[in-house]
Amino acid sequence: MSTWDTDRLAITSLAVRDECAVLRLSGELDHGSEEFYLDRIGAVVVAGYRYLILDVTALVFCDSRGLNCLLALRWLLRRREGQLLLACVGRHMAGLLALTGSDGILPVYPSVSEALQALPDEQRPLWPPVGDHQPDIPHPHSQSVEKSWLQDDNPHLPPDHDLP
């Protein structure tokens, strides 16, 4: 598996197919990892993935800033006629989604398998992955975060966010 990580957040590619990627978020999604998340996820979207399933089993912390990162991704994928699905949401994340009313906006599934069933057949990667196949996720570059992440276009990013 291909993994990007920082001291606060890791993003691991679990499965890919055409325009769909299953990624696992591990660690903390908050102000301290926001730029890393936006850069790496931006690279995935720019590479042409319109359907993203985020397995958040190992996401141990997510605050309002992290939630805005997820909402920003949902907004961006919907503009591309895609979808963001969350899988394996724990108690803390479920509580945050319910408290903020985001549980009606971000689709939540108990497993990656069930999230995949919500996607078009032709977009579903093989699940669970078989063998030692390690799907690659695109490497970020200076232009990986497109202009639609910017505050003027994306209402979920904070006004003080400084993206290229």
Q: What is the CATH number of the domain that holds 78?
A: 3.30.750.24
Residue type, 28: E
pLDDT for position 3: 74
**10 located within any domain:** yes
Tell me the pLDDT band of 133, cut-offs 50, 70 and 90: low
pLDDT in tens, 90-100: 998 999 999 99
pLDDT for position 154: 75
pLDDT for position 150: 60
Tell me the pLDDT band of 54, cut-offs 50, 70 and 90: very high
Comparing CA positions, the residue from 77, 72, 95 lying closest to residue 161 is 72
**30 located within any domain:** yes
**57 located within any domain:** yes
pLDDT for position 134: 63
**44 located within any domain:** yes
pLDDT for position 162: 53
Is residue 142 pLDDT above 70, yes or no? no
Average pLDDT over residues 143-149: 54
**108 located within any domain:** yes
Taking the CA atoms of the chain, what radius of gyration do you get in angstroms? 15
Which two structure tokens, joined as six digits, stand for 78? 């919907």
**143 located within any domain:** no
Distance CA 92, CA 11 (A): 19
Which two structure tokens, joined as six digits, stand for 26? 């591990």
How do beta strands 3-5 and 20-29 pair? unpaired
Q: What DSSP state is assigned to residue 106?
A: S
The parent domain of residue 27 ranges over 3-118
pLDDT in tens, 20-34: 999 999 999 999 999
Q: What is the total count of domains within the chain? A: 1
**153 located within any domain:** no
**83 located within any domain:** yes
How do beta strands 3-5 and 9-17 pair? antiparallel
